[in-house]
Amino acid sequence: MAFERVPELYAAPNERAELLEKIKDMQSVDLSARQLCDLELLMNGGFAPLTGFLGQADYDGVVENMRLASGALWPMPITLDVTEKVAESLVMGEQIVLRDPEGVPLAVMDVEEMYTPDKDREAEMVYGANDMAHPAVRYLHNQTGKVYLGGPVTGIDEPVHYDYRQHRFTPNDLRRMFHKWGWRRVVAFQTRNPLHRAHVELTVRAAQQTEANLLIHPVVGMTKPGDVDHFTRVRCYEAVMRHYPDQTTAMALLHLAMRMAGPREALWHALIRKNHGCTHFVVGRDHAGPGKNSQGEDFYGPYDAQEMVTNYADEIGIEMVPFQAMVYVQERAQYVPINEVNDDETKLNISGTELRRRLREGLDIDEWFSYPDVVTELRKTHPPRDKQGFTLFFTGLSGSGKSTIANAVMVKLLEAGGRPVTLLDGDLVRKNLSSELTFSKEHRDLNILRIGYVASEITKNGGIAICAPIAPYESTRAQVRDMIEPLGGFLEIHVSTSLEVCEGRDRKG
């Protein structure tokens, strides 16, 4: 008996050949990293029942009450945002080709709608707060285009992934594998972090409790800025897989762009895992939480996500497996759910912050917390402080003295040695990287983003980038910060010299 397939959006072979001829005359939209993730899961059925990027009626329904216009449950707005300039070049009803950053055509979209969203409302309804401390809210306001396009998508080709192909499976790939292996009950575990002993204990308990096989299903698309890079994480996952019982557990990578939306995201993750053929889904403490808001409080309660999924248990088609946080009990020498620990027992735990400190400073990490082979992988990507890359981003008016300070800092760092130092001065960048740009806002932003990209590459490779542009727009500086912080340190320094003094110093006219 064949397995039950989830609908995909790819063109049939004869239709694909026709589309490849037609796209020569179509306008193109180059997709961002998030849009690429969304398109891939639209095309392969991971986002079923969606058939494309949301039109306004579907968007409004999802934002307001987590339902499509049809009434189907769907908690996350999947939209194709573009700039006003791109939108003005399009005509309602035309077809456009969606391309990856290298220009490879991946899909054709029928532009049925163009609409301007209320981003403040979207932030409040989807993320619970219009707070720029939330990474998805910051992305919404700083990086999302002002116009959304809605319409169905027809896939031409899958996005190409050169990494870890042995672990990448579409929903129908997994459904086929589960059918072949006789896995009728499968519990999925979502993660964006390396796995340690507590996670292994939790997932083994979940599989035993549900009498199911286990799918470790980590996200390797966009996660929270500052997370461990996915290459390191996958090496850690491969190490951990050796500690599970044979023939019980599989691993597959999910190319999803997380929104860190807490309760809504947990519901979304459950629906995605159902599409991948799973029957159960683990929701733990603070599922997909983004951390602290601008007042220093958690965005969501620790078990809000479990409550949300429970509220829709009758219609999501997958069973939630709720779990409390796992802690190590010294007297028992084992991990136990925190609600099962006695008052007189000693609970041990290492927070993410403490783990990073120990890695950074070369301190011991106890074996009760993690496996030695996992710690070895983490140490490879956590060099000591004096080997880490970072960016110093000086801003200020022309004549404020930022270039003078930047040059002085560069010389002192070169005197100290140990890391390569690169100065990206505003005038020098204008001359060598951005000579064709004007001083319009659009071109100023583009110039700053070019500087940010170069600085991110320097930082990623363990160097020091010293930037000294004028950079007057906060949103653009925030984009640069988001570009660099996942790769190393970022320090923004405003040289606050008064306008009168700057005018008096002006040597450029």
Least trusted range by pLDDT, from 185-189, 233-237, 443-447: 443-447
User: pLDDT band for position 506 (50/70/90)?
Assistant: low
* pLDDT value at 316 more than 90: yes
pLDDT for 485 equals: 87
Q: Where are the domains of the chain?
A: 13-155, 165-380, 385-505
pLDDT for 441 equals: 87
Three-class secondary structure assignment of 257-268: CCCCCCHHHHHH
Least trusted range by pLDDT, from 167-171, 364-368, 422-426: 422-426
For residues 179-204, give the mean pLDDT: 96
Residue 421, strand partner residues: 464
Cα–Cα distance between 449 and 470 in angstroms, integer?
Answer: 12
Judge if the upstream peptide bond of residue 49 is cis by omega within 30 degrees of 0. Answer: yes
Cα–Cα distance between 325 and 328 in angstroms, integer?
Answer: 10
Mean pLDDT (the chain, rounded): 93
* pLDDT value at 284 more than 70: yes
* Percent of the chain whose pLDDT exceeds 90: 77
Dump pLDDT digits (tens) for 133-166.
999 999 999 999 999 999 999 999 999 999 999 9
pLDDT for 1 equals: 60
User: What SS3 class is residue 298?
Assistant: strand
* pLDDT value at 353 more than 80: no
Q: Which CATH architecture has domain 13-155?
A: Roll (3.10)
Cα–Cα distance between 230 and 16 in angstroms, integer?
Answer: 32
How many residues does this entry show for the chain? 509
Full strand arrangement of the beta sheet holding 390-395: 421-425, 464-468, 390-395, 489-494
425 neighbors 406 (Cβ within 8 angstroms): yes
Q: Do domains 165-380 and 385-505 have the same CATH topology?
A: yes
Cα–Cα distance between 159 and 174 in angstroms, integer?
Answer: 18
* pLDDT value at 509 more than 60: no
pLDDT for 363 equals: 87
Q: Which CATH architecture has domain 165-380?
A: 3-Layer(aba) Sandwich (3.40)
* pLDDT value at 331 more than 60: yes
* pLDDT value at 394 more than 60: yes
pLDDT for 368 equals: 94
pLDDT for 386 equals: 80
List Cβ neighbours of 18 (8 Å cut-off, separation of 6 or more). none
* pLDDT value at 224 more than 70: yes
Cα–Cα distance between 191 and 228 in angstroms, integer?
Answer: 12
* pLDDT value at 360 more than 80: no
* pLDDT value at 427 more than 90: no
* pLDDT value at 508 more than 60: no
Q: Please tell me which residue, 297 or 351, carries the higher pLDDT value.
A: 297
Q: Please tell me which residue, 476 or 252, carries the higher pLDDT value.
A: 252
What element of type H or E holds 326? strand 326-329
Tokens of 77: 């707005």
Assigned CATH for 385-505: 3.40.50.300
In which region does residue 105 sit, left (phi positive, over 0), alpha (psi from -120 to 50) or beta (all else)? beta
Dump pLDDT digits (tens) for 398-416.
888 888 899 999 999 999 8
For residues 250-278, give the mean pLDDT: 98
pTM of the model as a whole: 0.83
Least trusted range by pLDDT, from 256-270, 300-314, 352-366, 454-468: 352-366
Judge if the upstream peptide bond of residue 135 is cis by omega within 30 degrees of 0. Answer: no
pLDDT for 401 equals: 86
Residues acting as catalytic residues: 191-193
* Of the ranges 137-146, 359-368, 479-488, the best mean pLDDT one: 137-146
For residues 492-508, give the mean pLDDT: 81
